[in-house]
Amino acid sequence: MNKIKIMEAAVKKWQRIIDKKGSDGGVLDCPPCRIYYFVLCIGCPIAQYTGQKFCKGSPYIPWFRHQLEKHDKMFKKIYCPECETLARDMQNFMREIRDDLIEKETRKARSKEWE
């Protein structure tokens, strides 16, 4: 499983939300969750990055709380400026994890060259 591609798909998911062309279905449409949620996040790039399971330590928790407390609608999408800010925070976090994975892969490839 290519974790970089999984995280790229997560970045795209949040872009669709930011562009108001999609909504957040939580574990049902989160690219990493589709693979790792049912194995308790073992191997999930987000969990590995934060050191916590179920997106704790990520911007998802503030997004989810805001959606419940301020909008309480079935579809979690952008309803107000704060929603957009929180969605951008989540997308930026997905990019941060993707970039970290790319950097680690590059370092690993370089170290193999020196062996």
User: Is the pLDDT assigned to residue 64 strictly greater than 90?
Assistant: yes
| Cα–Cα distance measured from residue 87 to residue 34, given in angstroms and rounded to the nearest whole number | 19
| Cα–Cα distance measured from residue 52 to residue 62, given in angstroms and rounded to the nearest whole number | 15
| Cα–Cα distance measured from residue 58 to residue 34, given in angstroms and rounded to the nearest whole number | 17
User: Is the pLDDT assigned to residue 67 strictly greater than 70?
Assistant: yes
The answer to whether residues 70 and 82 touch, using CB atoms and an 8 Å cutoff, is yes
Q: How far is CA 1 from CA 5, 11, 55, in A?
A: 9, 17, 20
| Cα–Cα distance measured from residue 38 to residue 27, given in angstroms and rounded to the nearest whole number | 9
What global pTM score does this model have? 0.92
Task: Give the model's pLDDT for residue 7.
Answer: 98
Q: What is the pLDDT of residues 32-61, one digit of tens each?
A: 999 999 999 999 999 999 999 999 999 999
Total residue count of the chain as it appears in this document: 115
User: Is the pLDDT assigned to residue 11 strictly greater than 80?
Assistant: yes
Reported as type and span, the H/E element at residue 101 is helix 81-113
